[in-house]
A and B are shown apart, each in its own frame.
Chain A
Amino acid sequence: MSIEIRNVRKNFGNFSALNDISLEVPSGELVALLGPSGCGKTTLLRIIAGLEAPDAGNVLFNGEDTTERHVRERQVGFVFQHYALFRHMTVFENVAFGLRVRPRQARPNAAEIHRRVHELLNLVQLDWLADRYPPQLSGGQRQRIALARALAVEPKVLLLDEPFGALDAQVRKDLRRWLRHLHDELHITSVFVTHDQEEALEVADRIVVLNKGAVEQIGTPGEVYDSPATPFVYHFLGNVNLFHSRVHAGFARIGEIELEAPEHAAAEDAPALAYVRPHDIDIQREANGGSAFKAVVSFIHPVGPVVRLELQRADNSELVEAELTRERFRELDLHDGETVYIKPRALKVFLSQAA
């Protein structure tokens, strides 16, 4: 079932949580709503679910307006950040809940409920926990049970609110891969909220980046990461170095050097900001022509498979962050205080707003 959101607005008092949001989720896709806390992503999810009503705008399922339709009739499965399992019921009863509360004509008999619940528990690989109570489970187990419970009512849409937000780093990674596989198996249109860009990049078919109640960019993980539409998206999707520059006729001038910026061929001596990711910075011992800055190595932090460097530009003593592979680092044999040349391999230039 496809989801369409048209011009949705929501205010809490004077605070505008969602400001004219429109987006589409094609049937069968797994979409991430990504943004910092307070950007309105959870509010948007709750509006799709029907747990909140928008002040203006519509939510359409398969082209049909659901704004007036009760939560119960939307056929939406919802997974809460803190699981919201029924603490006084066993795992089995939790999963069976959605079947047991159906009106008598639609309610499956006991044998059928038993079969369905065990089928779902097998799907989430936790059949052996059927008789436990939620507080006896680990966080990852609870979240999988919560997912099984949401799937029990055969939803047409699955909504997940920061599903892995309360879990440890390792469990988080395992679980999000598992979620991706599950989605590939079931193909239920799914929307999940996250503030973790890595999670969104890894799991989602498409990412909706939200900021301050507005959509910044919608695209595949590749599009959003490689060609961010706004400085905010660039910032939010990873570490970044920022250079003040002037752009003229397709070239960005940063300090003493000039780099190509073909997307701004029409710009004439316009102030701009150039963004470079730390792993897109190359470090050389020699100047090798005019497109590298002189800088001094000020800190070296080896972090797992990469080495992070802090460098101080020679011309204006601004700090630049670079990330090298261990191999490249060993090759260069760098030490604190050494003078090197840094060269941005790829940069993204945004013209400064007319000020």
Chain B
Amino acid sequence: MSTLALPINNYTAKVAKSRAIAEPAWLRWLLIGAALVFLGLFLFMPLAAVFTEALRKGWRVYLAAFSEADALAAIKLTFTAAAIAVPLNLVFGVAAAWAIAKFDFKGKSVLLTLIDLPFAVSPVIAGLIYVLIFGLQGWFGGWLNDHDIKVIFAVPGIVLATIFVTFPFVARELIPLMQAQGKDEEEAAIMLGASGWQAFWRVTLPNVKWGLLYGVILSNARAMGEFGAVSVVSGHVRGLTNTLPLHVEILYNEYNYVAAFACASLLALLALVTLALKTLVEWQAARAVVVTE
């Protein structure tokens, strides 16, 4: 009997304890209800609307929206921009986080602020900066034109803008993690005869792999979904410089709602996949901690 009684006692003790610190029931339900209504109105309804509108005229029309040449070009360009921007920011982010978290140098706080700049600046301004630098009337516009290099209203401009807006994600994810881990393990590696390069590959990088993956996923999501900065530098040339978000806008402005929502649903799906991946990574990272705990 005593073996049965024990867990019950534990259970009641737990309930009693939680009651002791809980708010009254009506308040709890009011707060939970408010949160649910907010979520429904601002997250679930728009999501549902995207898919309903996209499928309004049936699957055939929905799928037809993607087989159009301009849509395919937009999808391809979006993936190209992300495929260039994300790896570059991966390398940059790891390098910056490594320098900031593991070394002391002059101008460290300036570098930290610079990394945050893309978060602080409006994406439209970011796009404009590139127009001012590389545009025909810009600083390097004349020189670029003479050498027949197109940056603004072309793919390089879109890639540049994408790199700018996704700049902070990897570094911001890694810096606190690396700072919390300290320098001890790297110093131990060096004392054991490892070169700086070996210490980085064998100790520093494996210690932050989950944080890094998380940063890359977020960075990728932003790269594919970016509108403002890309819109300024793209020039909206159909089939050439239109990314998926820009394509959605054009279709919508032309009253082609089904196609617009179809493309939008693709972006929404991308977001959902990102969320799923992010959850998976978080779960894996938590498990890695538990396993080694």
* Residues of A bordering B, CB below 8 Å: 49, 51, 71-72, 76-78, 80, 82, 84-88, 97-98, 101-102, 133-136, 146, 149-150, 152-153
B11-32 interface (Cβ within 8 A of A): none
B202 within 8 A of A: yes
In the complex, the chain A residue whose C-beta lies closest to that of B205 is A88
Tell me which of A87, A88, A98, A134 contacts B192 (CB under 8 A).
Answer: A98
B133 at the interface (CB under 8 A from A): no
Binds A, one of B94-102, B160-168, B181-189, B218-226: B181-189
Nearest Cβ in chain B — how far from A131, in angstroms?
A: 12
Type the 1/0 row for B186-215, where 1 means its CB is closer than 8 Å to any CB of A: 011111111100100011001100000000
Is B293 interfacial (CB-CB < 8 Å)? yes
The answer to whether A153 and B185 touch (CB under 8 A), given A133-B291, A133-B292, A135-B293, is: no
A158 to B189, CA, bound (A): 15
Compute how far the CA of A78 lies from the CA of B293 in the bound complex, rounded to whole angstroms.
24
Of the candidates A76, A77, A87, the one whose C-beta lies within 8 Å of that of B185 is A87
Q: Are B185 and A86 neighbours in the complex by a CB distance under 8 Å? A: yes
User: How many residues on chain B are close to A (CB under 8 Å)?
Assistant: 19
Q: Would B187 and A51 count as touching, CB distance under 8 A?
A: yes
Nearest chain-B residue to A84 (Cβ)? B184
CA distance A331 to B292 in the complex (A): 57
Instruction: Establish whether residues A97 and B189, one from each chain, have CB atoms under 8 Å apart when the complex forms.
Output: yes
Indicate the member of A72, A77, A146, A153 with the most B CB atoms within 10 Å. A72
Known: A101-B198, A101-B202. A49 touches B192 (CB 8 A): no
- Select from chain B the residue with minimum beta-carbon distance to A49: B191
Q: A33 → chain B, closest Cβ, in Å?
A: 18
Give 6 CB contacts A-B under 8 Å. A51-B187, A88-B292, A101-B192, A102-B193, A146-B188, A153-B193
Shortest beta-carbon distance from B261 to chain A in Å: 45
Within 8 Å CB of A78, what residues of B?
187-188, 191
- B218-256 vs A, Cβ < 8 Å mask (1 yes, 0 no): 000000000000000000000000000000000000000
Using A72-B190, A80-B184 as known contacts, list a sample of 5 further A-B pairs with CB atoms less than 8 Å apart, ordered by residue number in A: A78-B191, A80-B187, A149-B188, A149-B192, A152-B192
Alpha-carbon distance A152/B194, docked complex (angstroms):
13
Work out how many contacts link A and B, with CB atoms closer than 8 A.
Answer: 65
Which of B193, B203, B292 counts the most chain A CB atoms within 10 A? B193
A153 contacts which chain B residues (CB < 8 A)?
Answer: 192-193
A51 touches B191 (CB 8 A): yes
**A101: nearest residue on chain B (CB-CB)?**
B194
In the bound assembly, the distance between CA atoms of A88 and B291 in angstroms comes to 10
List the 9 closest pairs (A to B, CB-CB), nearest first.
Answer: A84-B184, A98-B192, A84-B188, A101-B194, A133-B292, A135-B292, A78-B191, A88-B206, A101-B198
Q: Are B184 and A82 in contact (CB under 8 A)?
A: yes
Q: How far is the CA of A51 from the CA of B183 in the complex (A)?
A: 11
The answer on a CB contact under 8 Å between A87 and B193 is no
Q: A102 to B193, alpha carbons, bound, how many Å?
A: 7
Interface centre among A49, A76, A84, A134 (most CB of B within 10 A): A84
Instruction: Using known A-B contacts A87-B292, A134-B292, determine if residue A101 contacts B189 with beta carbons closer than 8 Å.
Output: yes
Report the minimum CB–CB distance from A10 to chain B (whole Å).
15
The reply to whether B194 and A97 contact each other, CB–CB distance below 8 Å, is yes
Q: Chain A: which residue is nearest B209 at the CB level? A: A88
- Give A58 to B198 CA distance when docked, in angstroms: 29
* CB-defined contacts of A86 to chain B, threshold 8 Å: 185, 188-189, 202-203
Q: Do A88 and B207 touch across chains, with their CB atoms under 8 A apart? A: yes
What residue in chain B is nearest A50 (Cβ atoms)?
B191
A74 to chain B: closest residue by CB: B191
Report yes or no: B187 in contact with A84, Cβ–Cβ below 8 A: yes
B202 to chain A, nearest CB (A): 7
- Give the distance to chain A from B208, nearest Cβ to Cβ, in Å: 10
Min CB distance B264 to A, Å, is 41
A101 touches B193 (CB 8 A): yes
The answer to whether B190 touches A97, judged by C-beta atoms less than 8 angstroms apart, is no
What is the CA–CA distance of A82 and B182 in the complex, to the nearest angstrom? 11
The residues of B that contact A134 with a CB separation of less than 8 Å are 292
Q: Quick one: closest A residue to B207, CB to CB? A: A88
Which of B185, B191, B198 is in CB contact (< 8 Å) with A71? B191
Residues on B with beta carbons closer than 8 Å to the beta carbon of A71: 190-191
Complex contact A97–B191 (CB within 8 A): no
A76 contacts across to B, CB distance below 8 A: 191
Instruction: A88 to B211: give the CA distance in the assembly, Å.
Output: 14
Specify which chain A residues have a CB less than 8 angstroms from the CB of B202 in the assembled complex: 86, 97, 101
A152's nearest neighbour on chain B, judged by CB, is B192
- Chain A residues, CB < 8 A from B187: 51, 78, 80, 84
Nearest-CB residue, chain A, relative to B293: A135
Q: How far is the CB of B117 from chain A (nearest CB, A)?
A: 30
Report the nearest A residue to B181, measured CB to CB. Answer: A87
CA A72 to CA B190, docked complex, whole Å: 6
A252 to B192, CA, bound (A): 56
Complexed CA–CA distance, A85 and B207 (Å): 12
Chain B nearest CB from A142 CB (Å) reads 12
**Docked pose: A77 CA to B291 CA in angstroms:** 29
Complex CA–CA separation, A82 to B184 (angstroms): 8
